[in-house]
């Protein structure tokens, strides 16, 4: 039986002997979309048995920062292929960034993204709304209409661009406060990161002859925005924190009870600017890969909770946008399929986090930040059966060709990482099982 049932949309499973977040082994009975029983479960008739011996069970992962590219760049990714990549990575929900074409800056656009995601049905696709119309940084978008729409938008971001006008940022924070929303800021002062800049400014960029921008271009905006959050009493979220200085500011802001949250990407937890010496555009990303001391500060901040969440910033790009001289190539790298393996390798194997901390950083906290009530829930009776099974001992050498994504800009290609996603369940339905995405 097994696999056939899974493809036929079987929704009753007994998951045998998984280690629940590292807290001990138990069976899980998944039925009618919820966790119906835990402990030692007697299989009901017709249930599919899943041997989870040696596997870790975590609540389904929630990505605060995904670029799905639809509408507008369906040659790089679609909601369907991006959802498949998410399911393969252990995610049950993704926040779809607004920098599509057209931009997600109206209620209708947000509803369209949400509905397309629902139709695909592999993960919950929750649209992020733009802060400003067309991401132009001039006029606020219809924040209230997006919030009140069927898409119930709560996270707003001009990601790809910084909301650099302090007055607009202030207004946006005031506005979203009314409905418990949050502004996710791509912190990058444009006057300190000019049009040509393509990497971290430092000793190496000088040697390579590549124009860069310094960490302070991020840090001044983080500092400004936590003060605006304090002034407005509203919530700000810092996207893809990349420097030790930003960590210091966020740590201070939290000590003052300012409502700031922050995310770090898998790539900023492991990769450094040294990789640029080969001029391979796969390592070109915004914010840029920084120094080892930044990487260490980011790891420590994630471990102690200063950084709340890991978010992928999955940024697929078509070959013809990426395969250029370094200075001309597009910014961004894939992230969904390897995120959990990178966190396993760096944070768990590195002794910095246990599995419950991973569940917090990749599921419950991002769900709370985004206001997703049905996601990020504990693995307990009565909860929606959103979960991922991970083989923590498996070592996988990443092959960019074995991907659900339409794009191939995978910075992990050829690397050995610890931890392989075995399966993902969305409301009790297997969306990914033993190497395959399961279609309805
Ligand atoms: N991260 C990137 O390098 N690129 C993102 C935009 C962004 O997250 O700033 C993209 O949309 O490609
Ligand atoms: Zn960004
Ligand atoms: Zn992004």
Q: Tell me: the pLDDT tens digits for 31-85?
A: 999 999 999 999 999 999 999 999 999 999 999 999 999 999 999 999 999 999 9
Q: Is 411 in the pocket of ligand 1 (CB under 6 A)?
A: no
Indicate the pairing of strand 212-213 with strand 199-200.
parallel
Domains of the chain and CATH, by start: 3-57+382-393+417-437 (2.30.40.10), 59-370 (3.20.20.140)
Cα(98) to ligand 1 centroid in Å equals 11
pTM: 0.97
How close are the terminal C-alpha atoms of the chain, in Å? 17
Atom of ligand 1 minimally distant from the CA of 332: 3
Q: Is 99 in the pocket of ligand 1 (CB under 6 A)?
A: yes
Question: Best substitution site from 331, 334, 335, 409 to test ligand 1's pocket, by max atoms within 8 Å of Cβ?
Answer: 331
Cα(1) to ligand 1 centroid in Å equals 43
Contacts of 21 (CB under 8 A, 6+ apart): 56, 57, 58, 59, 355, 356, 358, 359, 379
Task: List CB-based neighbours of ion ligand 2 within 5 Å.
Answer: 159, 186
Question: Best substitution site from 159, 237, 282, 314 to test ligand 1's pocket, by max atoms within 8 Å of Cβ?
Answer: 159
Residue of the CA atom closest to atom 4 of ligand 1: 332
| 3-class secondary structure, 402 | coil
199-202 contacts: CB < 8 A, separation 24 or more? 199/273, 199/276, 199/284, 199/288, 199/289, 199/326, 200/273, 200/288, 200/289, 200/290, 200/291, 202/273, 202/291
Report the mean per-residue pLDDT for the chain.
97
Sheet arrangement for strand 309-310: 155-156, 182-185, 236-238, 260-264, 309-310
Structure tokens at 79: 């909601």
Q: How far apart are CA 375 and CA 385, in angstroms?
A: 9
Q: Tell me: the pLDDT tens digits for 207-241?
A: 999 999 999 999 999 999 999 999 999 999 999 99
Q: How sure is the predictor about 434, in pLDDT bands with cuts at 50, 70 and 90?
A: confident
- Among the bound ligands, the one closest to the CA of 97: 3
ipTM of the complex model: 0.99
Residue of the CA atom closest to atom 9 of ligand 1: 160
In this prediction, residue 1 carries a pLDDT of: 41
Residue 7 has pLDDT above 60, yes or no: no
Residue 418 has pLDDT above 70, yes or no: yes
In this prediction, residue 298 carries a pLDDT of: 99
Q: Is 331 in the pocket of ligand 1 (CB under 6 A)?
A: yes
Q: Is 315 in the pocket of ligand 1 (CB under 6 A)?
A: yes
Q: Tell me: the pLDDT tens digits for 130-160?
A: 999 999 999 999 999 999 999 999 999 999 9
- Among the bound ligands, the one closest to the CA of 317: 1
Cα(28) to ligand 3 centroid in Å equals 35
Contacts of 128 (CB under 8 A, 6+ apart): 95, 96, 97, 98, 104, 153, 155, 156, 157, 159, 184
Residue of the CA atom closest to atom 6 of ligand 1: 160
Task: List CB-based neighbours of ion ligand 3 within 5 Å.
Answer: 159, 313
CA distances from 137 to 58, 140, 159, 169, 404 (A): 39, 8, 11, 10, 34
- In percent, the amount of the chain with pLDDT more than 90 equals 96
Q: Is 159 in the pocket of ligand 1 (CB under 6 A)?
A: yes
State the binding site for Zn(2+): 65, 67, 159, 186, 240, 313
State the binding site for substrate: 67-69, 99, 286, 317, 331-332
Catalytic residues: 313
Q: Tell me: the pLDDT tens digits for 166-210?
A: 999 999 999 999 999 999 999 999 999 988 999 999 999 999 999
Cα(315) to ligand 1 centroid in Å equals 6
Residue 87 has pLDDT above 60, yes or no: yes
In this prediction, residue 6 carries a pLDDT of: 61
Q: Could you write out the DSSP letters of every residue in 167-224?
A: HHHHHHHHHHHTTT-EEEE----GGGS-TT--EE-SHHHHHHT--EE-THHHHHHHHH
Residue of the CA atom closest to atom 8 of ligand 1: 160
Structure tokens at 110: 């947000």
Kindly state the helix (H) or strand (E) to which residue 294 belongs, with its residue range.
Answer: helix 292-304
């Amino acid at each position: 039986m097994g696999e056939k049932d899974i493809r036929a949309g079987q929704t009753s499973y007994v998951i045998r002997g998984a280690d629940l977040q590292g807290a001990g082994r138990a069976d899980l009975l998944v039925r009618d979309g919820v966790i119906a029983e835990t402990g030692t479960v007697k299989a009901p008739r017709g249930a599919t048995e899943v041997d989870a011996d040696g596997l870790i069970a975590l609540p389904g992962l929630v990505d605060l920062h995904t670029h799905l590219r639809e509408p507008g760049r369906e040659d790089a990714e679609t909601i369907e292929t991006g959802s498949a990549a998410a399911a393969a990575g252990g995610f049950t929900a993704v926040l779809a960034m607004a920098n599509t074409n057209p931009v997600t800056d109206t209620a209708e656009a947000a509803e369209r993204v949400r509905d397309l995601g629902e139709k695909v049905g592999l993960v919950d696709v929750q649209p992020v709304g733009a802060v400003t119309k067309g991401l132009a940084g001039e006029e606020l978008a219809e924040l209230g209409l997006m919030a009140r729409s069927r898409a119930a938008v709560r996270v707003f971001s001009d990601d790809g661009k910084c909301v650099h006008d302090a007055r607009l940022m202030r207004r946006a924070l005031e506005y979203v406060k009314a409905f418990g929303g949050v502004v996710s800021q791509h912190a990058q002062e444009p006057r300190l990161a000019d049009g040509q800049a393509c990497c971290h400014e430092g000793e190496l960029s000088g040697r390579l002859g590549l124009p860069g921008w310094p960490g302070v271009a991020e840090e001044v905006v983080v500092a400004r925005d936590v003060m605006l959050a304090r002034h407005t009493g509203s919530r700000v979220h810092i996207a893809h924190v990349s420097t030790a200085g930003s960590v210091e500011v966020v740590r201070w802001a939290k000590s003052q009870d300012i409502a700031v949250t922050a995310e770090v990407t898998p790539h900023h937890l492991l990769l450094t600017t040294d990789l640029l010496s080969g001029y391979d555009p796969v390592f070109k990303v915004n914010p840029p890969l920084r120094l080892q001391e930044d990487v260490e500060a980011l790891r420590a901040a994630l471990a102690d909770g200063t950084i709340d969440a890991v978010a992928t910033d999955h940024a697929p790009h078509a070959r013809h946008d990426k395969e250029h001289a370094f200075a001309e190539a597009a910014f961004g790298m894939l992230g969904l399929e390897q995120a959990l393996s990178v966190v396993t390798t760096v944070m768990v194997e590195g002794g910095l986090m246990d599995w419950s901390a991973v569940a917090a950083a990749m599921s419950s906290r991002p769900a709370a930040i985004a206001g997703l009530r049905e996601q990020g829930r504990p693995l307990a009776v009565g909860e929606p059966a959103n979960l991922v099974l991970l083989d923590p001992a498996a070592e996988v050498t990443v092959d960019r060709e074995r991907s659900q994504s339409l794009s191939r800009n995978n910075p992990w290609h050829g690397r050995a990482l610890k931890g392989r996603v075995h399966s993902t369940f969305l409301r009790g339905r297997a969306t990914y099982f033993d190497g395959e995405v399961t279609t309805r």
